Amino acid sequence: MDGTGGAKRPRRPAMLDPAQAEELPGGYDPALRNEAAHTTAAALVHQGRANDDPEVVARLVSLVEREGLDVVAALWSDSPADSLPGALWRLYVLREWVRRDPATVADRYRLGVAAAPVHDVVAGVAEAPGPADVLAVADEVLSGVYTGDLDVALERAAAFGRVLATGAAFDADHLDDVDPSAAQRLTRGAASLVRTAEELEHAASLWRADRLE
């Protein structure tokens, strides 16, 4: 209790400091950069999971909008996929893609569902999803990092990515005759999504073994 007799407000989890983050790229000491990545990732996850304030969770989910993708990238984008900051970076990038182009993501998801029904179940997306549905899932996945089982959130994101990869591959097939260069870009994008899904699945297994740091 505080001096006024009311309940203390939960301490706000540490956010990223743009001024410090701007110093990290380039010739910055890799060891210090790595330490900063792990410190901020651990602070966000552990402090976020230590309280049940929905406003705090909402701030954490919207981290990229609040701090900027370049700031988050400066700290986490070079982190290995089998680390906590590396896993968080992949989750936030996936959400940012959905946030910026939900209509395309929804289209790709609908294309991929029929060929990846098991992953669709894990991802937990509404049947015949629209833009609002995929946005909701992206937010739910990140909320799960702070309010549920982190390994489940990682696996759900991985399943979501696998369905999208399947949809992108189908889209590439449709474009192959009319726009080969676009088809090639989509194929590369699908392969990248599969790789990200595999990395998230591995991160989930490390978290369960208490080895994701």
pLDDT tens profile 56-74? 999 999 999 999 999 999 9
Output the pLDDT for position 119: 86
Residue 2 lies in a domain: no
pLDDT interval class at 20 (50, 70, 90): very low
Report the chain's terminal Cα–Cα distance, integer Å: 34
Residue 5 lies in a domain: no
Output the pLDDT for position 22: 46
Distances (CA, A) of 161 to 47, 111, 146, 188, 189: 27, 13, 20, 14, 11
Output the pLDDT for position 165: 94
Residue 178 lies in a domain: yes
pLDDT interval class at 76 (50, 70, 90): very high
Query: Residue 179's domain spans which residues?
Result: 18-208
Sign of CA dihedral 140, 42, 210, 77: positive
Residue 71 lies in a domain: yes
Q: Is the pLDDT of residue 54 over 80?
A: yes
pLDDT interval class at 28 (50, 70, 90): low
Q: Is the pLDDT of residue 143 over 50?
A: yes
Please give the mean pLDDT across all residues of the chain. Answer: 85
Output the pLDDT for position 107: 93
The winner for highest mean pLDDT among 82-86, 121-125, 128-132, 188-192 is: 82-86
* Model pLDDT for residues 157-210, shown as the tens digit of each residue: 999 999 999 999 988 888 888 888 988 998 999 999 999 999 999 999 999 999
Mean pLDDT of 31-38: 90
Mean pLDDT of 33-46: 92
d(CA 164, CA 189): 10
**Would you say 68 and 77 are in contact if contact means Cβ atoms under 8 Å apart?**
no
Residue 31 lies in a domain: yes
Q: Is the pLDDT of residue 8 over 90?
A: no
Output the pLDDT for position 3: 43
pLDDT interval class at 155 (50, 70, 90): very high
Distances (CA, A) of 127 to 23, 121, 124, 176, 186: 45, 10, 9, 28, 24
Residue 182 lies in a domain: yes
d(CA 141, CA 147): 10
Residue 126 lies in a domain: yes
Residue 11 lies in a domain: no
**Would you say 82 and 107 are in contact if contact means Cβ atoms under 8 Å apart?**
no
Q: Is the pLDDT of residue 7 over 60?
A: no
Q: Is the pLDDT of residue 39 over 90?
A: yes
How many domains does the chain contain in total?
A: 1
